[in-house]
Structure 1
Amino acid sequence: MTSRDEHLATLVELTKESRFCMLTTVDTDGTLVSRPMSRQDVDLDVEMWFIATRDSRKAQHLRANPSAGVTVSTDTSWVSLAGTAEIVDDTAKLEELWSTFAEAWLPEGPQDPNAVLVRFDATTAEYWDNPGGKVSTLISLAKSKLTGQPYDGGENEVVTGL
């Protein structure tokens, strides 16, 4: 049986190369809304951080309903995280996480009064991993076609209690 720490290590390994992800929030009418975000920091044992604007739709969604999801993908893996997110006003943390990339949206820097943080805390995750990459996928697809057996897409796990 795989321990929580082993699952967390796998999740970190599968997501560490991906700077960008999709953050999903819930609109006031219940519609799920996803948008690309740049991760500022990741420690799946605790939290993920994003920089946002205070007046953004995502910030409005999270103030009304903290339920959120994050999806991260690479060439060989896909991770779906579910949990909660909150808007955080913390200038010191914003300065710590600030990058020149964030300046495209907030040119005044971390002191911009419209700059806020989004802290995402994962409670569950599901991941799919094909460690052999594209070549392994193509071989597995060809094998499936030749043998008539279902495609084995690699490892798939659901992780709870994060």
Structure 2
Amino acid sequence: MAEHTEQEKREKLKGLVKDAKIGMLTTMTTDGRHVSRPMALQDVEFDGDLWFFTYSDSDLVAQVRVNPQVNVSFSDGKQNSWTSVSGTALQTDDPAKAKELWNPLLKAWFPDGLETPNLTLVKVTAETAEYWEAAHSSNVVTLLGYVKAAVTGKTPDAGENETVRL
């Protein structure tokens, strides 16, 4: 397998995050438990920052105030790819950024749009990321590869795995 440059890995990561759209944002509670919740990614031009809308009085905001280290994982079943982004979260009230990122579909969660009481943004500044891409785009081909590996005792070709510093 050919070595990829850091820029190639960043571009690949950017595409995987953009395609996934929904991430599982994991925070830590004050008693040390990890909590994950699905969040719709708002910034489609991933540049190392991930943006999410939430409520300022949510558990998410309270948790990142105490422990800002978070993880956001993405899964794209169509492409058989998985991405894990680690970084630092910060709650921010930025009306200009909120207006820039607003999508009418968000009214399902925030019925008054940008005027929704307690509407806020959480910005995750990515520090490192890891992604996995299956060697085959078909679930059937991937499954057959695992079955063959189980029968023959040889490790399957699980695809590409890269770590990216951001």
Task: Give the aligned partner of residue 105 of structure 1.
Answer: 109
Name the CA distance, whole Å, in 2 between partners of 1:150 and 1:50: 39
SS of 2:144's partner is helix
Aligned pairs for 1:5-84 within 5 A: 5-75=7-77, 76-84=80-88
- Matched to 1:70, the amino acid is V
d(CA) in 2 for partners of 1:46 and 1:155? 21
1:141-160 equivalences in 2 (<5 Å): 141-160=146-165
| 1:120 aligned residue (117, 124, 131) | 124
> Residue deviations 1:37-64, cap 9 Å, x none?
0011144433011100011000111111
Alignment partner of 1:16: what SS?
Answer: helix
Number of matched pairs: 161
Shift of 1:28: 1.1
AA partner of residue 86 (structure 1)? L
Q: 1:42 to 1:122 in 2, by over 3 A?
A: farther
Q: What is the CA distance between 1:151 and its match in structure 2? A: 2.4
Equivalent position SS for 2:62 = helix
Deviates more, 1:105-114 or 1:22-31: 105-114
Counterpart-to-counterpart distance in 2, 1:19 and 1:31: 25
Residue equivalent to 1:85: 89
Comparing 45-54 with 9-18, greater Cα deviation is found at 9-18
Give the 3-state SS of the residue equivalent to 1:45 in structure 2. Answer: coil
Deviates more, 1:63-72 or 1:35-44: 35-44
Per the alignment, in what secondary structure is the counterpart of residue 20 of structure 2?
coil
- Structure 2: runs of 5+ lacking an equivalent: none
TM-score between the two structures when normalised by the length of structure 1: 0.91
Alignment match of 1:95 (pick from 99, 114, 119): 99
> Could you tell me whether the CA contact under 8 Å between 2:40 and 2:52 is conserved in 1?
yes
SS of 2:113's equivalent in the other structure is coil
Supply the RMSD in Å over aligned alpha carbons. Answer: 1.5
- For residues 163 and 120 of structure 2, the distance between their equivalents in structure 1, rounded to whole angstroms, comes to 31
**How many angstroms apart in 2 are the aligned matches of 1:44 and 1:17?**
11
Q: Are the structure 2 counterparts of residues 131 and 147 from structure 1 closer, same or farther at C-alpha, using a change threshold of 3 Å?
A: closer
1:131 positional shift: 4.3
Point out where structure 1 has 5 or more consecutive residues left out of the alignment.
none
Structure 2 CA distance, aligned partners of 1:67 and 1:11? 20
